Amino acid sequence: MEQNERQLVSLLSEITPLYDVPMREAKARQDALAKPPGSLGLLEDLSVQLAGITGQVKNEVSHTRIYVLAADNGVVCEGVSSAPQSVTRAQAINLTRGLTGASCLAKHFGDELVVADMGIALPYACPEILNRSLGKGTANIAAVCRELDCKMMYISTDYVFNGQGETPWDPDCKDYQPLNVYGQSKLGGELAVSGALEKYFIVRIAWVFGLNGSNFIKTMLQLGRTHDKLRVVCDQIGTPTYTLDLARLLVDMIESDKYGYYHATNEGGYISWYDFACEIFRQAGLPVQVDAVTTAEYGASKAARPFNSRLDKSKLAENGFTPLPEWKDALSRYLRELGDNQ
C-alpha cells in the first residue's frame, strides 16, 4: 500500500464518535444567548458540532480552509444553465489564480482556498486544482478495499450503454457507449472497481424513486394537482426501481460471495414513461388526461436520453437472489409511504 493510503487507513481508524455532553451544553448555551433561537442558521449547528469534535463548549477557529468543488453535472445539457461547460473550467482555474470574488475574500480574511475537480468535463492544465473526480475517487475507495480485503458495492446505471435498440442489456455486456457526462462518470467508476478488485458487486439500476429527493412520481403528483392534461413520452422504455426494494436486495448481495455485474429494477415487464404516468395517476386517484408523445415531439430535453433502458435481470435468480417485487406493487407501497410522511 502506498504511504498516503496507509495514512488514510490510520486516520480513519482514529475517528471517534462526537462527544455528546459538550454538544448538549453548547446547544443549551446557544439557546440562552440574547437572540432568537436559530437566528444564526447553520453557524449554530456548526458550533454545536465543533463542540462534539473537540469536547469543548467554547472553540475558536484560527485558520479556515475554503473548499470549492468544481464539476459539470449535466445541467448545461438540459438548457437550464447560465453558462457552458467551458466556464466551469475557466472559473476553476481563475479561482486558483486569485481572479475571482471568492479568491479576494479568502485573501482578505487570511483563509486558504482550495479548488477540487469533482467532475470538470473539459480538459485543463492547472496543477493547483486537486483532481478528485468520480473515477479517481472510486479508485481510491477500491484501493483501500483491496488492501483490507473488503467487498465493495458500486451502484451504476444503464446510461453506460447507448440506449438504442430493443434488446435488454445483459449485465456482463461490455459494449459501453455512455450517452452523456453522467454515463461517462459512472462508467469510469465501474472500470475503476472491476479493474482493482475481485470481490465487488456492480449493480445497475434505472428510473429510481424513493422517499428522499426528487423523482418522476413526485413530479407527476405535483403536476397532476395543478393540471388536468399532461404529455409524457412513450418511446423511452425501461422499468422503475424502488429504493426500499433495492436496499433489501443489496443487503442480501453483500452478505454473499456471488460477485460480479448485476441489473436490478422492479419486475412487472418493461414500460414507457407514459405507462408509468398513467398508473401513477390511476393509483393516486387523480383525473389527469395523459397524452402519449415521442421524445422528438416532447422536445424539451437537450441531453441525450436512452430509448432503451431495458435491463436483463435474469442473473439475479440464477445466483440465488430474490428479484424485486413488481413495479405496480412497489408504486402502491410507495404512495402509501408518501402519504404517511406528509
Per-residue pLDDT tens over the stretch 92-112: 999 999 999 999 999 998 899
Instruction: Name the residue among 124, 197, 213 with its Cα closest to residue 154.
Output: 197
Which grid cell sits at 315? 442473473
Q: Where are the domains of the chain?
A: 1-60, 63-132, 152-340
Residue 139: its pLDDT value, please?
83
Residue 37: its pLDDT value, please?
81
Residue 82: its pLDDT value, please?
74
Which grid cell sits at 253? 448481495
Residue 342 pLDDT grade (very low, low, confident, very high; cuts 50, 70, 90): low
Whether 340 has a pLDDT exceeding 90, the answer reads no
Tell me which range, 46-50, 127-131, 162-166, is most confidently predicted by mean pLDDT.
162-166
Taking the model in full, what pTM does it have? 0.65
| Residue 19 a catalytic site member | no
pLDDT tens digits, 239-287: 999 999 999 999 999 999 999 999 999 999 999 999 999 999 999 999 9
Whether 72 has a pLDDT exceeding 80, the answer reads no
Class of domain 1-60: mainly alpha
Which helix (H) or strand (E) is 229 found in, with range?
A: strand 229-233
Residue 308: its pLDDT value, please?
96
Average pLDDT over the chain, rounded to whole?
89
pLDDT tens digits, 117-162: 887 878 888 999 987 666 667 888 898 899 999 999 999 999 999 9
DSSP state of 255: T
Above pLDDT 70, what percent of the chain?
92
Could you give the C-alpha distances from 312 to 113, 162, 221, 264, in angstroms and in order?
47, 15, 29, 8
**Pairwise CA distance, residues 90 & 81, whole Å:** 15
Q: Helices marked H in the chain — which ranges?
A: 3-13, 20-32, 42-54, 85-96, 101-108, 134-148, 181-196, 216-224, 243-254, 273-284, 295-298, 314-318, 327-340
Contact 315, 322 (CB under 8 A): no
- φ/ψ of 17, rounded to 5, equals -60, 155
Locus of grid cell 422528438: 296
Min mean pLDDT across 21-30, 67-76, 207-216, 238-247 is at 67-76
| N residues, the chain | 342
**Angle formed by the axes of helices 327-340 and 273-284, to 10°?**
50
Residue 212: its pLDDT value, please?
87
Residue 75 pLDDT grade (very low, low, confident, very high; cuts 50, 70, 90): low
The β-bridge partners of 152 are 200
Residues 6+ apart with CB under 8 A from 247: none
Residue 76 pLDDT grade (very low, low, confident, very high; cuts 50, 70, 90): low
Residue 130: its pLDDT value, please?
86
Residues 6+ apart with CB under 8 A from 125: none
Residue 302: its pLDDT value, please?
57
Among residues 154, 159, 182, 274, the one annotated as catalytic is 182
The domain defined by 152-340 folds into Rossmann fold (3.40.50)
Residue 1: its pLDDT value, please?
47
Whether 227 has a pLDDT exceeding 60, the answer reads yes
Q: What is the DSSP track for 147-177? A: HHT--EEEEEEGGGS---SSSPBPTT-----
